[in-house]
Amino acid sequence: MLIATPPALHADLALAALRAGKHVVVEKPPFLHSTDFAPVEAAARAAGRRLLVAENYHYKPLARTLRRLLADGVVGEVLFLHVNALKRQVASGWRAEPELSGGGALFEGGIHWVSFMAHLGLAVREVRGFAPASAGVERGVVAVFQYEGGAVGTLFHSWAVPSSFGGVRGSRIYGREGTIAFESNGLAVAVWGRRKRLIFPGVRDLVGRRAMWRDFARTLREGAEPEYDLALARRDLELVERIVGTPA
């Protein structure tokens, strides 16, 4: 059963489906609060069923490419990361109602990018958020990540800033021995480091959905843990809560 409904309903619907003996895939953001995980996980264990969170950005070819490059040390010690996720998007339906969606742009859509920043192979030590001074529902945030080892990352996320060239945006990772420049959607990656190379991660599964569903199928078929498990999903939601809860 796939739940693609307002986050305010996720926990209740997931519990009902688990009690009915169904496996459950919950869209992101999985729940309104990170504390909602505990009762739903308990219900999944009691029912002998799986609870999976559909965070497809974890499976993006771009994310896999960057994880591999950083693990290989192609730019040496990472110093700075900057991810540009600025675009203009109109919230409609339940997404325009904070009591149903759970919050503004970062909670509803930016959790993808928080997950992206948190799972590149660098452990997050702390995170803070800063929003422009404006009334109403949050439409844009700069999140600052401090990683174990000293690297610093910035995520610029907004639904209020028009992006040029059809949504093509540039991001970078800076290391002591080089730089990785990449198009934020994953169209291309350029490495200037110990070796120079141009990589095209792949457009057939640009947003990672195919890889995610393959992993979920393997999980259900083999009884294994998914690559993106509940611990990671809970951690991502906790990071979002800390970002939006940080006074600017």
| Length of the chain measured in residues | 248
Instruction: Report the CATH number at residue 41.
Output: 3.40.50.720
Contact 240, 110 (CB under 8 A): yes
Q: What is the mean pLDDT of residues 213-240?
A: 96
**DSSP state letters, 3-50:** E-S-HHHHHHHHHHHHHTT--EEEESS--SSGGGHHHHHHHHHHHT--
Write the single-letter amino acid at 216. F
Please indicate, yes or no, if residue 241 is contained in any of the structural domains: no
Amino acid, res. 3 = I
The domain containing residue 46 runs over which residues?
Answer: 2-55+208-234
Q: How confident is the model at residue 133 (pLDDT cuts 50, 70, 90)?
A: confident
Write the burial class of residue 92 (CB in 10 Å: 0-12 exposed, 13-18 middle, 19+ buried).
exposed
Q: Does residue 222 belong to any structural domain of this protein? A: yes
Report whether 144 contacts 153 (CB < 8 A).
Answer: yes
Residues 66 and 189 in one domain: yes
For residue 242, tell me if it sits in a domain: no
pTM over 0.85: yes
Q: Determine the average pLDDT of the residues in 206-223.
A: 97
Residue that has been written with the tokens 């959607």 in this structure: 185
**pLDDT tens digits, 49-98:** 999 999 999 999 999 999 999 999 999 999 999 999 999 888 777 777 77
> Does 126 lie in the same domain as 40?
no
Measured from the Cβ of residue 169, the count of other Cβ atoms closer than 10 Å reads 18
Sheet holding 152-158, edge to edge: 124-130, 140-147, 152-158, 78-86, 170-175, 178-183, 189-192, 196-199
Bridge-based pairing state of the strands 24-27 and 124-130: unpaired
**For residue 222, what is the DSSP state?**
H
**Same-domain check for residues 37 and 101:** no
Domains held by the chain: number: 2
Q: Are strands 196-199 and 178-183 parallel, antiparallel or unpaired?
A: unpaired
Residues 88-120 have pLDDT tens digits of 888 777 777 777 777 789 998 999 999 999 999
**Cβ–Cβ < 8 Å for 155, 142:** yes
Residue 239 has pLDDT above 50, yes or no: yes
Q: Does 89 map to a domain?
A: yes
119 and 33 in a single domain? The answer is no
Are 220 and 122 in a shared domain? no
Residue 167 is predicted with a pLDDT of: 81
- Tokens at residue 3, please? 């739940």
Q: Are residues 94 and 116 in the same domain?
A: yes
Q: Do both 48 and 110 map to the same domain?
A: no
Which CATH number is 116's domain given? 3.30.360.10
- 45 and 64 assigned to the same domain: no
